[in-house]
Structure formats: C-alpha cells, structure tokens
Amino acid sequence: MKVVFDTNVVASASFWRGKPFECLVAWAQGRCEGVISPALLAEYHETVEELRLEYPNRKPVEWADALGESALLVFPTDRLAGATPDPDDEMLLECALAADADYIVSGDKRHLLPLLEFEGIRIVNPADFLRRLAAGE
C-alpha cells in the first residue's frame, strides 16, 4: 500500500504523539510504503525547521530525514492546476499520481479531506488511515 503523507501529518508526528505519529510508526515498521517527491520533502524540512524555532524545548523525531532516506522517491511529470482550492496542496496530488498511491493521509479539513479521493486515490485523516491499515484495506 503506497501512501503520501501530507506535511501537516509529518510535522505533527515530528513534535507530538498521537495518530499522525502512529501513521509514521506504521510506515517505519514496513506496514505501508511511504512516497515522497523532491518538492514535498523540501516542504517537510521547511515546516519542521519552522516548528523547531517555535518549540525550541521540544526534541523532534526526525521523520522528514527518515522519509528522505527510505521512502519511495518519485518525480512527478504531470502538473495540476485548480485540482484543489489551495494550490500548495497540488504537489501532494502530483506525488500521489506519479506513484500510483493508494492513500493521501492529511489533516487538512479545509481543502484536501473534503475531496475524499482524487483519481482513485483515497484522501483520509490519520485515524481513518490507521483503521483501514489495520483492516487490510
């Protein structure tokens, strides 16, 4: 099962426990295959660095580095425009399409989660993803 993790999931998992953290643990355990693109990986690092400055007393788990070293790296060639209300989210869709991913896991309740799916790729929140993973969907 191929999965693209939204930046909000990776950033949350880096600094706090909870469902996003459990999603990344599932990936680290080999229960799913994480997929990244160069643009998405850059955004992971940028967001984690911003949070590192905002929360200097928290020691983050280096999920962005781990994904950069071990996730499937794809180079999207199809560019999307207008696929989501937020143009910044299109890199997730492009990455997922390039990898023929099964899921995009996101906490974005405004733009991504309302789509439910994009070209057959299911868009779910971390809790829903964990339920589906446990059920073998």
Range(s) of the domain holding residue 72: 2-135
Provide, rounded to the nearest whole percent, the portion of the chain with pLDDT above 90.
88
Give the tokens for residue 39: 């643009």
What pLDDT does 79 receive? 76
pLDDT tens digits for range 56-93? 999 999 999 999 999 999 999 887 776 777 778 899 99
Q: Reply yes or no on whether the pLDDT at 18 is more than 80.
A: yes
Domain tally for the chain? 1
pLDDT tens digits for range 24-34? 999 999 999 99
Q: Reply yes or no on whether the pLDDT at 109 is more than 90.
A: yes
Contact predicate 86/106, CB 8 Å: no
Q: What is the CATH number of the domain that holds 115?
A: 3.40.50.1010
